[in-house]
Structure 1
Amino acid sequence: MGATERCALADPAPAVPPNCHSPSEIRPKAAANKRRMDQVGEGQALAYKMIAERENETVRIERESTFIIIAKAKVWASEGWQVVITDKDGKSYPPEEFDKLLAA
């Protein structure tokens, strides 16, 4: 019996986990998640910061990946936000200069 069938047949008793999988079917990847968090470390600044502002709202996002921060910034800018990306050296890039980050 597959997970879907078991889930459909399961009564609401706590014996069936909310994801309808037994603990032996899908194992959590806590070790991989912990390792990733250890690489960044607490209190350590990430390489890129994006600040998006519109009217009286401000959103700040920090990422290590150039591609991810540029993608996020382009989405925010396309929604009408004023967006600036700052690199780890403190240099700011407006939307028309985002491609310069890829060349670096």
Structure 2
Amino acid sequence: MSEGDAALAYKMVAERDNETVRVERESTYVIVAKARVWASEGWKVVITDKDGKSYPPEEFDKLLAA
């Protein structure tokens, strides 16, 4: 697998009304920061790690502690 084909470690999905936004990042800090901003704006946000475990906003700190 080449470097460009590597799957990113974290995926964020933010949903509100009829809109969905998806963001993928390698950095835990960047994805948590983005997710917190979206959540503060009233979006329902979940982060999923490379193992498929999902984290709602109240568990974002667990990602940073890992």
Q: Give the TM-score category using the shorter length.
A: over 0.9
1:90 aligned residue: 52
| Identical-pair percentage | 82
**Number of matched pairs:** 65
Task: Report the AA paired with residue 19 of structure 2.
Answer: E
Paired residue for 1:72, among 25, 31, 34? 34
- After TM superposition, the runs of 4+ consecutive aligned structure 1 residues lying more than 6 A away are none
What 5-or-longer segments of structure 1 have no aligned partner? 1-37
Query: Given the two structures, how large is their TM-score scaled by the length of structure 2?
Result: 0.93
Cα separation, 2, equivalents of 1:86 and 1:46:
11
Larger Cα Rg: Structure 1 or Structure 2? 1
CA deviations 1:47-99 (Å, max 9, x no partner) are: 00000000000000000000000000000000000000000000000000000
Structure 2 matches for 1:33-48, cutoff 5 A? 39=3, 41-42=4-5, 44-48=6-10
Q: What secondary structure does 2:38 align onto?
A: helix
Normalising by the residue count of structure 1, what TM-score does the alignment of the two structures yield?
A: 0.60
Question: Secondary structure in 1 aligned to 2:7?
Answer: coil
**1:61 has 2:23 as partner:** yes
Q: Which structure carries more relative contact order (alpha carbon 8 Å, separation 6+)? A: 2
- Note the aligned Cα RMSD (angstroms): 1.1
Unpaired segments ≥5 residues, structure 2: none
